[in-house]
Every structure is written in C-alpha cells, then in structure tokens.
Amino acid sequence: MANTILVGAQWGDEGKGKIIDFLTETADLVVRSQGGNNAGHTVYAAGTKYVLHLIPSGILRAGKMCVIANGVVIDPVAVAAEIAGLRGKKIKVTPRNLLISDRAHLVLPYHRLLDEQREASRGKGRIGTTKRGIGPAYGDKAARVGIRMGDLIQPALFAEKLAVRVKENNAVLKALGAGQLKFKRVLADYQAAAEALAPFVGNTVVYLHEALQAGKEILFEGAQGTYLDIDHGTYPYVTSSNTTAGGACTGSGVPPHRMDTVLGVMKAYTTRVGEGAFPTENAAISDFLHGLGREFGATTGRARRCGWFDAVATRYAGMINGMDEVAITNLDGLDTLETIRVCVAYKLGRKTLQVPPGDHAQLADCVPVYQEFPGWQTPTHEAKSFAALPKKAQTYARQLAEFSGARLRIVSVGPHREQTIVV
Ligand code: GDP
Ligand code: IMO
Ligand code: MG
C-alpha cells in the first residue's frame, strides 16, 4: 500500500488532473488538501471532457472516495454548482463518495470583490489572479477572522458571523471605492448552498485516519504548482497556499510518516498563466502551441505563456517536494520540433546559478543556459509502451527526470486515459 502525494513541479497546469484520474484506478481515496476553485483540472474519461475545480479528480471513477480536506478554501456556491454540473453529466456525487472538512475555510463574496479590487489597483504590478477570492480568503484564515464549513451548516451561527464580516468588509470596500454587499442577499445564497452541502460535511481527519488504519491507499491531489507556492514560489506572483508536498500533511491532518511517495507532475515544456518572471518564456513556442489549440487556461480561458523546459526550476522542485518519481505530460506537444531546448542553468550577471534566486527581480533578470536535444519528429500519440516511443523521445524524457532528480514513472502522450505510459 502506498500513499502518494502528487504535486505540480512547475507553475501549475502540468496535467495533474489527468494523472490523478489515471492513478485513481488503483487507489481508494483522493484528497484535495489546498487551494480552491482557482484550480482547473482537465480529465477526459470515456471521451467526455470534465474540468474539476474543487472536487477531486477521483470523482469520475465509481466506488472511489473523494475528500476535500481542511486546507482547501471553499466557495460553497461554486462547489454546489460543480456537484450539480457533474450530476448533469451522470457522475454520481453523494455523501458516499464525497466528504468535505468542517474545518475548511469559506470563500465569501467580499473575498472575490477584494481580489478584483486589489488587482485593479495594482495596475501593471498585478499578479494576474483567477479572481476567485483565494488570496483574501486565506488572508482571513491567517488573520483568524475566517468563517468555516462547520459554521456554514449552523444557520444561526453563520448569520451572526457573516453579519460582522460583511459590515467590516463593506467599510473596507467603500474605502477602496468598490461596490457594497447586501447582507441578506449573501446570506440567502450561502444558506441555499449550505442546505445542499450539509450532508457532505464532517471530520475528514478522523475519516482519513480510519482509512489508513484499514490499509486503504490514498492519493493527495495537489493544486497549482511548486512555483505558485506561498513560501517557495516566485513571491509575490504566487497563490496563497502551500502547493508543495508539505501542504498535503498540514492540509489534511495526515502526518508526514504516513506518506510513502511524492510524484511530481511536469510538462515536457513549461507554461505559466498570470504575471511573474518566467525565464524560459518563448514567444515562438507560445504561438506554436496556441496554434495547435493548446494551452488555454481551464479556469479562466486565458492563453498560457509557454516556453522551454526549465530544469533549474524542476531540480529545485525536486528538492522542496522530495520528489521520488515524475510523470512527464504533453510529450506529444514537441512531436514536430527539429530541435528542443532545455534550460540547465541560469546566468545572472556573471554568476551561474543552479537553483532559482529567491528575489523576484533577480529571477526576472536570469538568462537561461540551454542544452539542445534533437527532436524525434514522429507522432507519439499512439505509443502504448515506453519502448514504442521514438528513441530520441525516450532519451529526452529520461533526461528531464534525471535533471529533476527523480525516477521516471509515467509519460503522457495525449489527454486521454489510454494515452498514458507507465515506464
Ligand atoms: P492541471 O491543472 O495540472 O490538472 O492541468 P490542466 O488540466 O489545467 O492543463 C493540462 C492540459 O493538458 C489539459 O488540457 C489536459 O487535457 C492536457 N493534457 C494533459 N496531459 C496531456 C498530454 O500528455 N498530451 C496532451 N496533448 N494533452 C495533455
Ligand atoms: P491548477 O491546479 C495555473 C495562478 C494565477 C495567478 C496566481 C495567483 O489548475 O494547476 P490566485 O487566483 O490563486 O490568487 O492566482 O496563481 N494560478 C494558477 N495557475 N494553474 C492553477 O491551478 C492556478 N491557480 C492559480 O494565474 O498567476
Ligand atoms: Mg489547471
């Protein structure tokens, strides 16, 4: 039995959802432990496309248990809508396959308004957030003025706490020149969501520990990626949670010694959505991938910025996460290229760096040192085994894993379940 933490090793959108869905076949439970509906995880199951935001990607497989743990921030209206959307696609979502932590903090409409307002006032210095209210919601959690799922399902208590918070936030919003919230309107919307969600809410820590006791296999589904981590990412151009492996422990109440493996998911190239430094960004690669209809955001639809694989970034991600294994996705995106570049070091002035600098302005000044690899110029979509991949593609994939200091476990050559090769 192995409990696996799956993390994004780059800037998010590495294909985590696809790999989680694939691995769920042999797992018993899938747990989200951080982030909120800023995440967008795309899964194709039996030809149908699903984009999951708050519900773990394991939900698409019958008989698997999904848990939204304490470290997640939940927009109850959004999660209720996501459940309804899945049911509309004939996916069963009941308290028998979804449990939501009573400790998880809520995203409220003032968080979204503040997120929008702060972004607008930052102007050119904006982060490029998803405007889902994630930063302000985690901010309230840390400031100890958050409201939690356990409060939401107690109508009188929720109304009392909400009244205080709406009053304070309306004053802040007014000072910032933003719109005002109507307490009654917010209360009505959230009470409706509370009724829909109440049957799902409970103590997820006890549930997970009972599952561990029973020898069940747990998959921790990371959201975002290592460089969006609030501590280790390209601050301040990050999200507001710990997206790295440790976040799975604090965000779920499962202790470190019960975790067996850390699997890092990485694209065969790099993408980033939103603002912030991106040393290997390359306009030609962006145009090429967008021209193939690829790399548009699953949550906001924004075109993702694209560039060459950054081994400096994934080497450091390997360190922070303790990555044992890697899954390389979107290898097929490079199928037609004659030459492929990989950034193996940064030049910062006269210095050569093997790991990213902590200072964002310095990272923005880093110039990649590239190593070139010959392209395989052969379609890989149909490959069913590692040996069936072109030799040059095999070499490239093995190199990326080696650069990242982890064992190559999975290579993905298309968005569908069947296009997944276990090495
Ligand atoms: P996540 O947020 O990490 O789950 O990733 P997203 O779903 O936001 O973005 C990954 C995109 O790549 C989605 O559109 C997936 O369907 C797609 N995808 C994942 N793996 C592969 C692959 O190996 N090849 C191709 N062509 N697409 C892939
Ligand atoms: P998944 O789980 C890619 C980015 C935003 C912005 C920054 C802060 O699909 O990989 P936020 O709304 O969190 O305050 O935005 O983080 N971001 C993501 N980028 N994938 C994601 O999730 C992301 N979630 C947030 O674009 O740059
Ligand atoms: Mg995504």
Q: Which of 19, 51, 52, 224 to mutate to test the pocket of ligand 2 (most atoms within 8 A of CB)?
A: 224
pLDDT greater than 90 at residue 417: yes
User: Angle at Cα 334 formed by Cα 330 and Cα 336, nearest 5°?
Assistant: 140
Q: Which residues lie closer than 8 Å to 25 by C-beta, 6 or more apart?
A: 61
pLDDT in tens, 7-58: 999 999 999 999 999 999 999 999 999 999 999 999 999 889 999 999 999 9
Mean pLDDT of 180-208: 97
Residue 299 has what pLDDT?
82
13, 21, 115, 140: the active-site residue: 13
- How would you class 172 by CB atoms within 10 Å of its CB: exposed for 0-12, middle for 13-18, buried for 19 or more? middle
Q: Which residues lie closer than 8 Å to 221 by C-beta, 6 or more apart?
A: 6, 16, 17, 20, 30, 31, 32, 33, 41, 56, 57, 58
pLDDT greater than 90 at residue 212: yes
- Is pTM beyond 0.95? Reply is yes
Residue 1 has what pLDDT?
53
Closest listed ligand to the CA of 304: 2
Specify whether 41 is catalytic.
yes
56 lines ligand 1 (CB under 6 A): no
Average confidence score pLDDT of the chain: 97
Q: Which of 13, 14, 16, 18 to mutate to test the pocket of ligand 1 (most atoms within 8 A of CB)?
A: 18
Residue 423 has what pLDDT?
96
Neighbours of ion ligand 3 (CB under 5 A): 13, 40, 298
pLDDT in tens, 335-373: 999 999 999 999 999 999 999 999 999 999 999 999 999
pLDDT greater than 60 at residue 107: yes
